[in-house]
Each structure stands twice: as structure tokens, then as C-alpha cells.
């Protein structure tokens, strides 16, 4: 739903809008009543994943052959939008879907059959373990090792900032199988963690925002995983696999950003029309109207650019450079617009009881995860 009522995203077909209505009911009935509790405990209850699976809201763009919904990226975009518009930051569906696409595009048929149906049912909750204490956006700097030992690999290392880390029981682990080869020595492993000796979940990290999202440290100490945990059939493909899936991940982040921008503008228009200053609505002041006019325009520009990216992704045509543009620009814009909206709320904009304040805290990490925005600009610059 664009900031401009007369504009309709081409990918929002009647079928997609019917699907949106079901997502909105799920958010209202199953997520919103528990969001504050989840923020306090720093993770959602695993049962909500199974409920989402029952309703067909997991892996919506994965083939029915592997237990998914058989839809398109449009279905995933709707879920991301509705979560953002409701202010739900705790339910890590986006990460779950990203991991699913590593399997769809790079796994063997046996691996897809083993993991995707259980992910679609919410029995397996997925995370991807990339970042380490000494390596974030620079994936070639990771230290986690996976050494072949007969028909197993032995994993050693630590990961941090892992979304879904507390609840996850299927973790896509980025590890080095041949450190001398740098990028060509990186492999991905799908690790089922339940009862795995040597695997340990560290503390749930205290964050500025997104407090209900279980972001954790993970530790692997001589963890023996079967050789069949290697994603695909060949070592050393991990870096290529990561690069190929980044447009999907970065477009999802952009979807969240644009939906948040539109929500922030709508909330602030409503607030300024109700808030009285010097005996008249705050909205009547020229500065307020001009600030919101600018934000409204930027929201529409962002929506049109995002829709182009979504349509290209659905056609299999979205390149890494354009996805990087979308990720950095929309998330920078998200922080800029929300900051302006906080200012228009005055002192109330600093109070957590107001949605705009929580949005301010939740937004900042968007410029960091999925590849820091400085890395996005470097990717774009290299293509010039």
C-alpha cells in the first residue's frame, strides 16, 4: 500500500491482496497480543512458528514439492510489509525464508527433502551463522573451521549477532574448509543443533531495538556433523552461494524499510493533526506540512523503486548491484524519515509508549545487517 492512494503496485494482484488479509489476521491475532511479552523475554515462543506453518505462512515462495506454499516473492514481501506495518520486530520469518532459499538453489534433492518440509511446518526454525566477533561484512575474515574427519566434519568457532539464534534448531553455518583458499575455501553447513554435542547457545544479546528478536552468540566446540550437512555436493562453494542469495535478502530488507517509512509518515500525519500547538493543530505550521510533504514524496519514490526491484526479482533479473542500491538507499531513508517524524512528535517522540519511538530504535540496525551500507556503496562503485 503506497503512500500515494492512487498508486498500486503491479505485483499486488487480487490474489496477493486476499493473501494479505490472511497475513494481517495472523499478525493481529497471533503476534500483536504477545509482542510486549516477547520483548521482555527477548524471544518469541516456538509455538508461534508452528502456528504460522499450520496457516501456510512459512516458505510461501517455495515449491509445494518441498512443502512450501508454491507462491512467489510477492507473498514473502506481503508478510514482511505486514510485520513492519504492525511494528512486529520479534518474529524472524525473513531469516527463515532466506535460509530456505539457500536450500532451494544450492542443496541436493535429498537435502531439500530432509529440511524444507519441516521448515515449512515450523518444526525447524532456521538461522544463518555468518558474523563472528572478528568478522562481520568481511566474510573472508571468518575464523570458524570445518575439518573433514571420515564421514563427518568437525566444526570449531564462534558466531555472534545471530538472528533466531535462541530458537533455531537448523543453523546454516559459514565455515572455512580450506583457509589457504580465502573465498574459495568457504563452505556452508546445514547443522541440526538439537542434542548436538559441543554446540552451545550463548547469551541473548541486549540490543538498542528489535528486542523481541532472539539475537545470540553461538559456539561450536568439536561439533561433529555428518558430511551430508555440507550444502550442495562440493566444498568451497560457500562464498558463491552467499553472493548469489544476497539480492533476495537485501530486497527483503528494503521491503521492511519502505513499509516502515510509509507507517512512520502515516502515524505522524495523524499525530500532528491531533496535537495542538499555540491553539491550533501542529499540522497547520508550515514547517510541519513541508517536512511531511517531503517525507510523503520520498516514501512514494522509495515504493516505486522497490516495486521495480520486486518485479525484477520475481522474473529472476535482479542483479546484485541494484539490490545493493535498494538496501542502502531505503534503509538510510528509513532512518532519516523516522528521525524527522520523531522530531515532529516532540517530547512524546522520546517515549517508548509511542510507536514512532520504537520504530526509531528498531530502524538503526537496518543499515548494518545484510551487509553494512558502506559495503553496499562499494559494490555499486565497483560496477561503475
Tens-digit pLDDT profile for residues 207-252: 999 999 999 999 999 999 999 999 999 999 999 999 999 999 999 9
Q: What is residue 2's predicted lDDT score, i.e. its pLDDT?
A: 64
Does 35 participate in catalysis according to the annotation?
no
pLDDT at 6: 84
Catalytic residue (choose from 147, 249, 262, 294): 249
Structure-derived torsion over alpha carbons of residues 84, 87, 92, 95, reported in degrees to the nearest 10: 30
Cβ atoms of 132 and 173 closer than 8 Å: no
pLDDT tens-digit series, residues 86-144 = 999 999 999 999 999 999 999 999 999 999 999 999 999 999 999 999 877 777 789 99
Beta bridge partners of 152: 149, 226
Do 59 and 126 form a contact (C-beta atoms < 8 A)?
no
Confidence of residue 1 (pLDDT cuts 50, 70, 90): low
What's the pLDDT at 139? 77
Is a pLDDT exceeding 90 seen at residue 170?
yes
State pLDDT tens for residues 216-226: 999 999 999 99
Burial 87-109 (b: 16+ CB within 10 A, else e): bbbbbbbbbbbbbbbbbbebbee
Is residue 363 classed as helix, strand or coil in its secondary structure?
Answer: helix
* Segment 250-299, tens digit of pLDDT: 999 999 999 999 999 999 999 999 999 999 999 999 999 999 999 999 99
Run of H or E including 96: helix 93-106
* pLDDT(351) > 70: yes
User: What does DSSP say about strands 145-149 and 152-163: parallel, antiparallel, or unpaired?
Assistant: antiparallel
Average pLDDT over residues 21-30: 98
Question: Does residue 309 register a pLDDT over 70?
Answer: yes
pLDDT, position 192:
98
Quote the mean pLDDT of the chain: 96
Neighbour tally for 207: CB within 10 Å:
16
pLDDT at 99: 98
In degrees and rounded to multiples of 5, residue 223 shows phi and psi of -80, 120
CA dist., res. 250 & res. 327, Å (int) = 5
Cα–Cα distances in angstroms (integers) from residue 44 to residues 162, 216, 318, in the given order: 15, 13, 33
Percent of the chain with pLDDT over 70: 99
Q: Is 160 helix (H, G, I), strand (E, B) or coil?
A: strand
Amino acid at each position: 500500500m503506497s503512500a500515494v492512494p492512487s498508486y498500486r503496485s503491479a505485483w499486488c494482484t487480487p490474489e496477493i491482496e486476499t493473501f494479505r488479509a490472511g497475513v494481517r489476521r495472523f499478525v493481529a491475532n497471533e503476534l500483536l497480543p504477545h509482542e510486549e511479552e516477547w520483548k521482555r523475554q527477548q524471544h518469541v515462543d516456538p509455538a508461534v512458528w508452528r502456528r504460522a506453518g499450520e496457516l501456510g505462512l512459512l516458505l510461501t515462495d517455495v515449491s509445494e514439492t518441498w512443502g512450501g506454499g508454491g507462491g512467489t516473492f510477492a507473498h514473502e514481501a506481503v508478510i514482511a510489509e505486514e510485520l513492519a506495518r504492525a511494528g512486529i520486530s520479534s518474529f524472524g520469518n525473513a531469516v527463515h525464508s532466506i535460509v530456505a532459499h539457500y536450500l532451494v538453489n544450492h542443496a541436493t534433492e535429498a537435502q531439500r527433502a530432509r529440511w524444507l518440509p519441516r521448515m515449512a511446518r515450523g518444526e525447524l526454525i532456521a538461522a544463518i551463522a555468518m558474523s563472528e566477533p572478528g568478522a562481520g561484512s568481511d566474510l573472508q575474515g571468518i575464523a570458524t573451521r570445518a575439518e573433514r574427519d571420515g564421514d563427518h566434519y568437525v566444526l570449531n568457532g564462534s558466531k555472534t549477532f545471530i538472528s533466531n539464534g535462541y530458537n533455531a534448531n537448523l543453523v546454516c553455518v559459514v565455515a572455512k574448509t580450506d583457509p589457504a583458499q580465502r573465498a574459495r575455501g568457504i563452505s556452508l553447513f546445514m547443522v541440526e543443533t538439537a542434542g548436538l554435542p559441543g554446540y552451545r547457545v550463548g547469551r541473548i544479546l541486549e540490543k538498542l531495538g528489535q528486542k523481541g528478536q532472539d539475537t545470540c552468540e553461538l559456539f561450536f566446540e568439536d561439533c561433529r556433523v555428518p558430511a551430508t550437512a555440507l550444502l550442495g555436493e562440493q566444498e568451497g562453494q560457500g562464498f558463491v552461494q552467499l553472493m548469489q542469495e544476497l539480492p533476495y535478502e537485501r530486497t527483503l530488507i528494503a521491503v521492511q524499510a519502505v513499509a516502515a517509512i510509509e507507517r512512520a509518515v502515516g502515524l505522524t500525519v495523524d499525530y500532528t493533526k491531533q496535537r495542538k500547538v499555540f491553539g491550533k493543530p501542529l499540522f497547520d505550521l508550515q514547517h510541519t506540512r513541508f517536512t511531511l510533504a517531503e517525507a510523503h514524496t520520498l516514501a512514494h519514490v522509495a515504493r516505486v523503486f522497490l516495486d521495480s526491484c520486486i518485479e525484477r526479482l520475481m522474473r529472476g533479473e535482479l542483479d546484485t548491484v541494484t539490490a545493493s542500491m535498494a538496501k542502502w538507499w531505503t534503509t538510510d531513508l528509513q532512518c532519516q524519515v523516522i528521525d524527522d517524524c520523531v522530531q515532529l512528535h516532540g517530547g512524546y517522540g522520546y517515549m517508548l509508549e509511542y510507536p514512532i519511538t520504537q520504530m526509531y530504535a528498531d530502524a538503526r540496525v537496518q543499515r548494518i545487517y545484510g551487509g553494512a551500507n558502506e559495503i553496499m556503496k562499494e559494490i555499486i562503485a565497483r560496477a561503475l
